[in-house]
Amino acid sequence: MLKSWKLKEIVLLAILSVVFAVVYLAFVHVGNLWAGLIGPIAYEWIFGIWFIVSIIAAYIIRRPGAAFLSEVLAATIEMMIGNAIGPRIILVGIIQGLGAEAAFAVTGYKRYDLWVLMLAGFGAAATSFAYTYVMGGLVALSPTYVATMFALRATSGMLIAGLGGKILSDLLLRTGALEGYSLARKGRVHG
């Protein structure tokens, strides 16, 4: 998967994964505080933060596997720095990464406009929610509550990860730090 990648792309993917592993772990605590106030649905409002590295990596690097690999690497690092669920977080990263990667795959890795980035955020939300539904016992909750949880997670994935990932990447592009990467060479994608 990394055969045709440039070394600087691999390094950037690794840097993004480390940075967002720290962000992801910090947001576990934010979610815990918020959930203490309004219950488990609180996580759904902010869930998009846990998908954002996949969108940023794919948008900047524009290579097959960037979304998946960045999410899995971030999850692995998050486990190593102290996520309480241990190695299971890597499985979560795989599931989320596959959901995000699917959006880029269906476009043949040729489209990186806003709607595709938001679709990637939705894909990560959908696959992660399916996992949560099965492993988290959501079947025991009322269908209306579960549907609300999914709607919030999907919206969060599209807005925080999709739109937010684009905004953060575009801001980083303006600094000149992304010269030589696909995002800078292709210019801004309409959307």
What is the per-residue pLDDT for 137?
87
Q: Distance (Å, rounded) from C-alpha 1 to C-alpha 64?
A: 7
What is the per-residue pLDDT for 186?
78
pLDDT tens across the length of the chain (191 residues)? 666 899 999 999 999 999 999 999 999 999 999 999 998 899 999 999 999 999 999 999 999 999 999 999 999 999 999 998 999 999 999 999 999 999 999 999 999 999 999 999 999 999 999 999 999 889 899 999 999 999 999 999 999 999 999 999 999 999 999 999 999 987 644 44
Closest CA to 28 of 13, 43, 8, 7: 43
The whole-model pTM stands at: 0.93
- What is the DSSP annotation of 130-165? HHHHHHTTGGGS-HHHHHHHHHHHHHHIIIIIIIHH
Query: Domain 7-178 is in which class?
Result: mainly alpha
Q: Distance (Å, rounded) from C-alpha 141 to C-alpha 104?
A: 33
CA angle, corner 56, sides to 78 and 75, nearest 5?
15
What is the per-residue pLDDT for 2?
60
What is the per-residue pLDDT for 191?
43
Secondary element (H or E) of residue 122: helix 114-135
Alpha-carbon distances of 110 from 13, 37, 95, 105, 170, rounded to whole Å: 19, 43, 23, 9, 18
